[in-house]
Amino acid sequence: MPKKRKKDLKIADVISELTGESWLYSSIVKDHFFNPRNLLLKNPKSGEFDAEGQIGAPQCGDVMRMWIKVDPKTERVKKLNWRTFGCASAIATTSIFSVMIAEKGGMKIDDALKIRPQEIMQRLGGLPARKVHCSVLADKAFQATVNNYFRKTGQYSRIITEGKKVIDPTINLTEKDIEAAVLEGAKSVNDLQKRLKVGIGNPEVIPEIEQLLRFYREKYYGIKS
């Protein structure tokens, strides 16, 4: 056996049987994986949080869900809980992210949105190269949750839409929002309007909404309508 492989066997946490590639996790990553902070295993009570967001596809089980409680006067995130089904890196990055958000009385929303994956990895003491993408999950889930907060509080101009096609400019709603609603169970335009208020003040967008609804229902559920 090559010397490099012997060394890997002594220090690596994971070694691929197929490629021989080794992954070494920092003690901080392992701590947050085995003892995740702010993990919410049961669905919250009604009114416990001000907003929630979700990224991923329920069909494949790769989903991250996040909830926040916000002080309306200061816009500090007083509480952040989350739940995900993922690898050690995904769990550890979200755990440390939740700690970062809650420090010093809670970060303001605008400051929290500026946290970058590199900062998360630094707090964890690094991640294996193949797992760097996991540091993006917490960031994306938080962005989705904050967008939900902005939508609920009528702050449509603050909704983050970068890289997404805006379908209803009146409320800054994108095609990704419609996709997420379909994945969460929306079956009709009426369902979408109840969840998202889409098209209510801008009825000319309804045909495009109907088209997207049909597309995503066929894509994820095989239902043609």
What are 116-152's pLDDT values in tens digits? Answer: 888 888 899 887 766 676 777 888 899 999 999 999 9
Same domain, 193 and 107: no
What are 93-117's pLDDT values in tens digits? Answer: 999 999 999 999 999 999 999 998 8
Among the candidates 101, 129, 155, a domain finishes at 155
pTM equals 0.80
Among the candidates 136, 155, 174, a domain finishes at 155
Segment 67-94 shows an average pLDDT of: 93
Q: Distance between CA atoms of 173 and 168, rounded to whole angstroms? A: 5
3 in any annotated domain: no
16 in any annotated domain: no
205 in any annotated domain: yes
Catalytic residue among 51, 134, 159, 178: 134
133 in any annotated domain: yes
Same domain, 216 and 115: no
Q: ∠ CA(163), CA(202), CA(55), 5° rounding?
A: 35
Structural domain that includes position 193: 161-221
Segment 217-224 shows an average pLDDT of: 83
Catalytic residue among 1, 11, 18, 60: 60
Quickly state the pLDDT bin for 190 (edges 50, 70, 90).
very high
10 in any annotated domain: no
What pLDDT is recorded for position 156? 95
Question: Taking 50 as the threshold, does the pLDDT of residue 9 lie above it?
Answer: no
Examine the residue annotation and report whether 87 is marked as an active-site residue of this protein. no
Q: Distance between CA atoms of 181 and 166, rounded to whole angstroms? A: 15
Question: Taking 80 as the threshold, does the pLDDT of residue 187 lie above it?
Answer: yes
12 in any annotated domain: no
Examine the residue annotation and report whether 134 is marked as an active-site residue of this protein. yes
What pLDDT is recorded for position 1? 41
Same domain, 55 and 165: no
Q: Distance between CA atoms of 106 and 99, rounded to whole angstroms? A: 9
